Structure 1
Amino acid sequence: MSVVDDLTWHLDKADNAIASIIFAHGAGAGFDSEFMQIVTNGLVAKGINVYRFNFPYMQQRALDGKRRPPNRMPALEQSFAERLAKYNDDLPLFVAGKSMGSRVAALVSNDEKVHGVIALGYPFHPPKKLEKTRLEPLLQTTKPVLILQGDRDALGNKQDIDGYQLPKTIELQFFADGDHDLKPRVRSGHSHQQHLAQAISSMVQFLEQHS
């Protein structure tokens, strides 16, 4: 069966919105995952329009229920770029993503419509493969970037990231004991709910600063 990408998106519209985000999912779950929904709801409550969509492989899964690996990066980039081209609102536009989606967001961010990039759990390297860094999308963007990262993220923890020479245009915020989903362990004294609420607040501050 051929790969499906119908270029639709799901819009969660805020009252009196101040900005818009196109928000891309990670490799393992689609736009309607619990993580994506929680962040979306939090942003909408704070006046941000959120556009979500499935990349082609995930849209195909939604149709036939079969798990499949992500499309190659050029196809993911094209899928995101085509949705950028569809955006015709006057509100300032930002691109964001969870994990893999943030990597794609950074790749398309030099589009003239885009004001900035937000990454929730940026995949700096594959698990246990620290030498295979994925820094290029962050280094090639000319737009301001906010990265919200768990400090024990298996795809880029605080120690790993401290060793990179990232541009000053990249703002990093670490979440205590957070994993790739920003989720801390119970014994840490922190909660996932608290971390997600702080992440949403930080996203809104970034949007207000760069709109």
Structure 2
Amino acid sequence: MGRVTQTETIPTGAGDARITWYAAGPGARLVLALGHGAGGGVEARDLQALAAHLPATGVTVALVEQPWRVAGKKVAPAPRTLDAAWHDLWPALRAPGLPVVAGGRSAGARVACRTARDLDAHAVLALSFPLHPPGRPERSRADELLGTGLPTLVVQGGNDSFGRPAEFPPGDHELVEVPWADHGFAVPKRATLGQDEALRLITGAVAKWLGSLRGPRE
């Protein structure tokens, strides 16, 4: 079970960000940095499940709160402001001296995809990637996902109104579907997959993918 080992405040050009560390200990081989979405924070069920599960597999998890969230604001700023803050706090994520996998859920996944190559991230994890606004498939954000140039895993709910798995274009990314799940990975009571099972599917798939990643010089 992962536990909080440190919480630190990181100054950025957009204000103070916050990183909550769930350390894997001396055997750590990766840092997984996870940003939150535009409608919630790091208390999201998938982020918390990964923070609880992955340290035991040798992955230190860093849950990152953007400055707007730390300041208590209700609305996220423009994408360029989110990206700039992510750039500013990246040195703190690299401080443990391990390869860093850039990740996040929803808007946080977009930030990770847009910035990963410039920041020399090891790989990208996109949870509930918002492929398009609900009901607006013509406003695709596929270029952000397809442009990472890095090993990329998408974990997507089967009933995500921001883009169901079948809507995703082909590419180099891997995609894992969470049956029945919505954008927040909640599953309805009628689903054959329970909520705990859905979270285990997510953590298991992410752990397996992280374990398959090669080292930075391989």
Give yes or no for TM over 0.5.
yes
Pair 1:56 & 2:67 matched: yes
Q: TM-score, normalised by structure 1?
A: 0.87
Q: Distance in 1 between matches of 2:20 and 2:80?
A: 23
Pair 1:77 & 2:83 matched: yes
Matches within 5 A, 1:54-203: 54-61=65-72, 67-86=73-92, 87-111=94-118, 113-161=120-168, 164=169, 166-167=170-171, 169-203=172-206
Amino acid at match of 1:10: T
> Which residue does 2:36 correspond to in 1?
25
Deviation at 1:192, TM superposition (A): 1.7
* 1:114 aligned counterpart, secondary structure: coil
Conserved 8 A contact 2:123-2:152: yes
> Which residue does 1:64 correspond to in 2?
none
Pair 1:14 & 2:24 matched: yes
Deviation at 1:11, TM superposition (A): 1.0
Deviation at 1:108, TM superposition (A): 1.2
**Measured at CA, do residues 88 and 113 of structure 1 come closer, stay the same or move farther in structure 2, by a change above 3 Å?**
farther
* 2:77 aligned counterpart, secondary structure: coil
Q: Distance in 2 between matches of 1:190 and 1:139?
A: 30
Deviation at 1:144, TM superposition (A): 0.9
Which sections of structure 2, spanning at least 5 residues, go unmatched? 1-12
**Measured at CA, do residues 147 and 33 of structure 1 come closer, stay the same or move farther in structure 2, by a change above 3 Å?**
closer
Conserved 8 A contact 1:98-1:119: yes
Q: TM-score, normalised by structure 2?
A: 0.84
What RMSD over aligned residues (CA atoms) do the two structures have, in Å? Answer: 1.8
Number of positions where the alignment pairs a residue of Structure 1 with one of Structure 2: 200
Q: Identity of paired residues, percent?
A: 25
Q: Distance in 2 between matches of 1:207 and 1:84?
A: 20
Q: Distance in 2 between matches of 1:201 and 1:38?
A: 10
CA deviations 1:172-206 (Å, max 9, x no partner) are 11111111122222212111211111211111121
Which sections of structure 1, spanning at least 5 residues, go unmatched? 62-66
Conserved 8 A contact 1:22-1:51: yes
CA deviations 1:15-73 (Å, max 9, x no partner) are 32221111101111122344422221112232211112211211111xxxxx4211100
Higher helix residue share: 1
| TM superposition outliers: structure 1 runs of 4+ over 6 Å | none
* 1:149 aligned counterpart, secondary structure: strand
Deviation at 1:112, TM superposition (A): 5.3
Amino acid at match of 1:6: D
Pair 1:5 & 2:15 matched: yes
Amino acid at match of 1:190: L
Amino acid at match of 2:83: E
Q: Distance in 2 between matches of 1:32 and 1:152?
A: 21
* 2:122 aligned counterpart, secondary structure: strand
* 1:45 aligned counterpart, secondary structure: helix
Amino acid at match of 2:189: V
